[in-house]
Structure 1
Amino acid sequence: MSSSGPSPFAPGGPGGRGDQRPGYGPAPAPGQHAPQLPPAPHWPQPARRRTATLVVEIIGIALGLVGAVWLLAVILGQGGGVGATVLAGFLALLPLVGVLAAVAWVDRWEPEPRWLLLAALLWGVGVSTAVSLILNEAFAFYVMGATGSSLAASVLGTVVGAPLVEETAKGLGVLLIFLLRRRYFDGPVDGIVYAAVVAAGFAFTENILYFVQYSDVLTEVFVARAVQSPFAHVTFTAVIGIALGFASRSANRHSWLWLFPVGWLGAMMLHAVWNGSAALALYDVLYWLFQVPLFAAGIVLVVWLRNDEKATIGHRLSEYAAAGWFAPYEIQMLTSMSGRRAARRWAASRGAGAGAAMKDFQRAATTLAFTRQRALSGRYDLRTHVDERELLDAVVRARAGYLAAA
């Protein structure tokens, strides 16, 4: 991406005020002696903005919990019993932990807000699953009434109804995050993370339903869903997340109006092929010839996108380094996971305060890089301007914190 656009603030301080900041200037590399810092001058503090509320997250969590409680009542009402439901929940938890661990690995460069991820997870657990259960049954009843054939209702419900309803229910959660928390949506990797968390929550509840419903062949169902295909729903819905991720980097704020439907259609098609392979007794063939290569391609894509995030951090922070905000070895450290870990270990060895300050420094610098990327994508507005100023202040304060503790 071209570096044309708003220039980084001058090194004299945010907004080029020319005031000297405590801790400003190159920090010592791990193992080097910390330079003697001058006393902090009384520079004017930026006006504090009102702390952002968690209304969106709270509403999402509340809706998810309501849906989860209703689904629990449905499961118990189907005669599963408390013991069978607890066992199903435990078995469904195993693939969920694996999927969330993989998502955490993908999200290492710029971790998303935890409350927002919790809202996404519970949207999948409660809202998406409850909506899908109701609408899938309604679709099957409609087809049954129109055709008079239970076979047609079953096949069409599996191949057409389920992909349409479920990818809409899951995709709506990702879209709401994009629209309501767009400043935390910085590209395709973020889209994959949010979509994967929603889909993981959905698969968790759906697995419980399947494990209870087919308890007589529980081993076979567990192997098919939790061992062979724990990332199936994640793969489908990730297409929506990728599409919205590209929309987040578009200079056109309304690009999601056509990119979201593209991702939605892609997710439905993949889901329909997956369900169709089971309905047409071609599961084993399509699993090895289509699903496994698709999953492998997804892994390659995720690795490439993570490397692109690393490159974005390096390019954007290098522009601030040219303006005097970062030393070259700080950029090197910030664009290497091993370098970040080494810097945190070095800081932690100098005390808990230094360790916490180093974590704050890395977090603020990374967020700063993506804030500038957002600006270069044509989304430089007053909110971005304020974020940039505050993040630069946070970088300076954090650097001063670990230097002083060291």
Structure 2
Amino acid sequence: MIPQSGPGFPGLPGQPADGVAPLQVPPAPRAGSGTVLNVLLITAASVVVVLVGFFLFAALGSEAFILCGFLALIPLGICLLGLHWIDRWEPEPRAALLFAFLWGAGVSVAITLLLGSMVNEVLMTLLPLTPADVIATVVQAPLVEEAAKGLGVLLLVFVRRSHFDGPLDGIVYAGTVGAGFAFTENILYFSAALFETGGVSLQLGFVFVLRGLFSPFAHVLFTAALGAALGLAVRKPGGVRILIGFIAGLAAAVLGHMFWNGGMALVYDDFFLFYFLLQVPLFALALTGVAYLRRAEQRLTRERLDEYAAAGWFTAAEVDMLATRSGRRQALRWAGGFGGRPTMRTFIREATNLALTRQQLVSGRDPRANAAREDRILDALTRTRTRLLQTAGAPQRS
């Protein structure tokens, strides 16, 4: 008998060893088409990045481009390390993260450069009494930049649907887009400071400290608001939910960006007062939210794997190992003793993907595709467990 977990809960495939045949599902769409699409998207985004790079190289000159590009790598590294920390429980596909970065560093910058001045003219017509610098900085830049970045996150919702599971995934994808955009934008800001004084000076150092060390996560935070909203929207099926999530998230990102750019007026243009009274608490609030979402994802993993354990796919000890950080660390240490650490990492990743796929099935999202994906993951997980146990039992070379 296939176990149930409540009214309308999809039946779990039974363990073949228990004499229960796995759930039969229609064959999934061929994976090749998705791979081709991913390659095309990454290639197109890479071409745009190269074009933007050539544009900056021609506009700034080789020395300024190389120096400012090197400086921009430092805040980029800080952002990517932070996003990696967020993404440790269920790492997103590297190809999707690469596309997110390329979109942010190239496509969103190109959209901003092409549309920014036109939108600025329209806003100046609509707001004739507003100072031009306020329109450009506080209104136009947040609108155009967040829309340009947000389109990349929205595209990922549709092309990487099976890996866009919730708000934490949305934060990681959107944050990577924001990190890419900030990287290119920092090159422009650093070069402006360089040219303003005619060379390396305290001005360049001051801009680097403010943008690169004090607030490297600014664009990450703005776009992450949109990613979180889309992540909440995709938990249940429905295109209208995605549209509402995109609009709500874009509004939050734009408002946050507007507040960031214009907030110093609230504290009489005192950057450090603005930073410690407003920016630091905002960053702390964001960290608290991320920590909460990470714990929620861990709890969800345990709940779903417990259901597979009840159906015979895992032992209780395996669930403890796979659904807790301490259990994973202990498992990796054990596997490292016989050279099985990479296989254990695969086992952990497959189990986590299985739990999140099950959650999508429970939510009624893409039932045919997710049922087929569940079946494939169970087959792969069984093979990985067998390989892991064979490696553990093999005699070790001295």
Is TM more than 0.5 here?
Answer: yes
Q: 1:244 aligns with which of 220, 223, 230?
A: 230
Which residue is 1:341 aligned to?
329
Whether contact under 8 Å (1:333, 1:339) holds in the other structure is yes
Which residue in the other structure is 1:404 paired with? 390
Once the two structures are superposed, the pairs formed by residues 249-268 of structure 1 within 5 Å of their partners are 249-268=235-254
With the length of structure 1 as denominator, give the TM-score of the two structures. 0.86
The answer to whether 1:222 aligns with 2:208 is yes
Query: Is contact 2:137–2:261 with CA below 8 Å preserved after alignment?
Result: yes
Which residue of structure 1 lines up, in the alignment, with residue 396 of structure 2?
A: none
8 A Cα contact 1:64 1:122, kept in partner:
yes
Find the partner of 1:16 among 17, 20, 23. 20
Q: What does 1:141-290 correspond to in 2, within 5 Å?
A: 141-142=121-122, 152-215=131-194, 216=197, 217-278=203-264, 281=269, 283-290=271-278
Q: CA RMSD in A?
A: 2.5
What is the CA deviation profile of residues 75-129 of structure 1, one whole-angstrom value per residue up to 9, with x for unaligned ones?
Answer: 2333x22111111011100111111111111111111110111001000000001
CA deviation string 1:301-343 (max 9, x = no partner): 0000000010010000000001111111111111122321221
Tell me, yes or no, if the aligned pair for 1:211 and 1:218 is still in contact at 8 Å.
Answer: yes
What is the identity, as a one-letter code, of the residue corresponding to 1:122? Answer: L
From 113, 116, 119, the counterpart of 2:96 = 116
CA distance 1:18–1:74, change in 2 (3 Å): closer
Checking the alignment, whether the CA contact within 8 Å between 1:64 and 1:124 is kept in structure 2 is: no
Matched letter for residue 44 of structure 2 = L
Question: Is 1:365 aligned to residue 344 of structure 2?
Answer: no
Paired letter, 1:196: G
Give distance in 2, aligned partners of 1:282 and 1:131.
32
Alpha-carbon deviation of 1:66?
Answer: 2.6
Which deviates more from structure 2 when the two are superposed, residues 201-210 or residues 327-336? 327-336
Is the aligned partner of 1:88 residue 2:68?
yes
- Listed as ranges, the gaps of 5+ residues in structure 1 are 20-45
Q: Contact (CA 8 Å) 2:14, 2:312: kept in 1 or not?
A: yes
Structure 1 residue 392 corresponds to structure 2 residue 378? yes
- The alpha-carbon deviation at position 286 of structure 1 amounts to 3.1
1:314 aligns with 2:302: yes
Superimposed CA distance per residue, residues 137-157 of structure 1 (whole angstroms, 9 cap, x where no aligned partner): 2233455678889x8222101
User: Does the C-alpha gap of structure 1 residues 77 and 356 become closer, same or farther in structure 2, counting only changes over 3 Å?
Assistant: closer
Selected match of 1:75 from 39, 47, 56:
56
Query: Is contact 1:277–1:286 with CA below 8 Å preserved after alignment?
Result: yes
Task: Rate the CA distance shift 1:74–1:3 in 2: closer, same or farther, 3 A.
Answer: farther
Contact 1:60 1:123 in 2 (8 A): no
| Cα pair 1:199 1:237 within 8 Å, conserved | yes
Q: Which has the higher contact order (CA 8 A, sep 6+)?
A: 1
- Aligned partners of 1:17 and 1:194: how far apart in 2? 38
- Which position in structure 1 is the counterpart of 2:395? none
Structure 1 residues 355 and 144, CA, compared in 2 at 3 Å: closer, same or farther?
closer
Taking structure 2 as the reference length, the TM-score comes to: 0.88
3-state SS in 2 of match to 1:92: helix
Segments of structure 2 that go 5 or more residues without pairing to the other structure are 198-202, 393-398
Contact kept in structure 1, 2:13 and 2:21, CA below 8 Å: no
- Aligned partners of 2:355 and 2:309: how far apart in 1? 11
Q: 1:399 to 1:154 in 2, by over 3 A?
A: same
Offset, 1:48: 8.7
Shift of 1:297: 0.4
Q: Evaluate the alpha carbon distance shift between residue 146 and residue 268 of structure 1 in structure 2; reply closer, same or farther with a 3 A threshold.
A: closer
Measure, in 1, the Cα distance between the counterparts of 2:367 and 2:161.
13
CA distance in 2, matches of 1:6, 1:15: 20
| Paired positions, count | 376
